[in-house]
Structure 1
Amino acid sequence: MRADDTAPARAGSARAAFLPALAVCLAAPAFFVLEITWVGWILSAVGLAGAWLADRHTRSGLLRDLALIVVGMLIVSAIPLAAELDNAAMVRFTIALGGAVAVPYLLSRFVFRDHAIRFPWRTGERWRPAQWVWLAAVLVLGWLILPFYFITSDVYLNWPVVDTPDLMARLFVGVGAVGIWDELFFICTVFALLRRHLPNWTANLLQAIVFVSFLWELGYRAWGPVLTIPFALLQGVIFLRTRSLAYVVTVHLLFDAVVFAVLVHAHNPGMLDAFFLVN
């Protein structure tokens, strides 16, 4: 397999890769949902051991690529992911989330001399009408669904109270920054590495496990996975079709703009009541 090849491997290699990749991705619920770190370590170790055995027969680089995913998850799992807006928390998030993207990329690019992890911001193609329609649909769907989810389930309480301009500004920056990071890590790193060894649909399902697990610890709990699972899968599909990081980031930021507005609304009754159906 060429260093820059992100296409799935042959069927035999994909079968050999599935169980190790599944074990590694199941470490994410252990780290971020159950919050039982040692279970995550064991699953990661089992996955990497399986990748080593698979590589003895396929020489596909599975161990290398799964190790990069594990490194990223371990860096993220080193900090609590509860949403906080103080200076220390924002620095902590910046270092950990930034490291979870930067370290696998630097290892891949400069240690393994590999180009699997890329951030294709521009494709050179104009967005099609259907893509613009989907951007509008994201706003409408978010406006219809998110207030009901956050307020009726009380999950908005997983985010700190934002009742001053300073806190609102911090929330706006934090929500947007994490949204961008989601696409850099889950799509451009985890999904891209899995696609080298698995069919696209399988890789997408596995990256969604990691994506949704992270969002759970971040605060999207209760029946949040009913929303976050299809969102994670759709982001993978959209990226496959557009090959555009700019587009999936735009989708995510529009979604997060509604999340921000809903959180402000939920924490400040009366402020935005005219804009939402659920108060």
Structure 2
Amino acid sequence: MRSVRTATATDAPPRVSWGLVPAGLLSASAVLLFGVRAAVPGYVLLVAALALAFIVNRALFRDLLLVALGLLIISTISVEANIDYPNMALMGTVLTLAVLVPYLISRHGYRDHAIRFPIRTGQRWNTPERWYLVIVVGLGYVILPTYFIRSGAYQNWPAVTAPDEIARLFVGVGFVGIWDELFFICVAFTLFRRHFPDWQANLLQAVIFCSFLWELGYQSWGPLMTFPFALLQGYTFKLTRSLTYVVCVHLLFDLVVFLVIVHAHTREWLAIFPY
């Protein structure tokens, strides 16, 4: 097999490469681990992806290993929506490690700066970017009530009525939304982009993103919504190069998610949604 070169500033990634095979297998392992919840086949596919990457290209192997470590860490727990205090602490710790471990290995083990978290870019948001935030809220208002209530997916989240329960749901939804961008965009998408064209890297991360959200609770016809959302987030990050901006987009969407879930469980509350 021909070696796959890592892209540089003057050398764009090839449109077709053998590296797509192990990268595709790695993304497919997320479907098994989180979507199908078949741990053993998922781990076998993950190991096969790394083994093939090692044969095809060592640089690709190093980067896929970081993504694989994140997936492996996440797979040690269930990410189903559970806002009990012990589970929130456990899930918060595991998800943090899934980002922190690849970052530390990249920074201190590989001694590169591939994984970055661009919070302050120095660039002001332009008018289309500001309007996009408004559009995101509008789309969430139209799409999310229909999805959650008509599909019954809201039942994958606990009913909350007490103030502390509502607060925990709010914090949990927001935390996972921020983490999504840290791992799927700043880690997975960024590392895939070193070896593949942006559109291929975006598809690879979106498969993993969508698989994780399936286990989290976005089931039924949820992937028809979450997969395009993942692609849009990757594309938005490519355009803006701003973690802050994609996090704001995600949190605005998740704010509507939170409100819809509360309403779906207690219909007399927040009766403001069309469905």
TM-score interval (norm. to shorter): over 0.9
1:45 to 27, 31, 47: 47
**CA distance 1:2–1:46, shift in 2 (3 Å):** closer
Q: Is the 8 A contact 1:66 1:193 kept in 2?
A: yes
CA–CA distance in 1 between the matches of 2:192 and 2:10?
9
Residue 11 (1) aligns with residue 8 (2)? no
* Length-normalised TM-score, structure 2: 0.95
CA–CA distance in 2 between the matches of 1:103 and 1:233?
25
3-state SS of 1:16 partner: coil
Deviations 1:3-23 (A, max 9, x none): 9968975428x6021101001
* Length-normalised TM-score, structure 1: 0.94
Equivalence for 1:277: 274
Equivalence for 2:260: 262
Q: Is the 8 A contact 1:44 1:70 kept in 2?
A: yes
Task: Spell out the pairing of 1:197-212 with structure 2 (5 A cutoff).
Answer: 197-212=195-210
CA–CA distance in 2 between the matches of 1:118 and 1:6?
17
Equivalence for 2:116: 118
Q: Is the 8 A contact 2:7 2:195 kept in 1?
A: no
**CA distance 1:178–1:97, shift in 2 (3 Å):** same
3-state SS of 1:15 partner: coil
Q: Is the 8 A contact 1:153 1:222 kept in 2?
A: yes
- Unaligned 5+ residue runs, structure 2? none
Q: Is the 8 A contact 1:4 1:114 kept in 2?
A: no
Deviations 1:166-223 (A, max 9, x none): 1000000000000000000000000000000011000000100000000000000000
Paired residue total:
272
Equivalence for 2:68: 70
CA–CA distance in 2 between the matches of 1:8 and 1:81?
39
Equivalence for 1:36: 38
CA–CA distance in 2 between the matches of 1:32 and 1:88?
21
Letter in 1 for 2:51: A
Runs of 4+ with >3 A deviation:
1-10
- Unaligned 5+ residue runs, structure 1? none
Equivalence for 1:99: 97
Equivalence for 2:171: 173
Letter in 2 for 1:247: Y
Query: CA shift at 1:88, angstroms?
Result: 0.9
Q: Is the 8 A contact 1:215 1:228 kept in 2?
A: yes
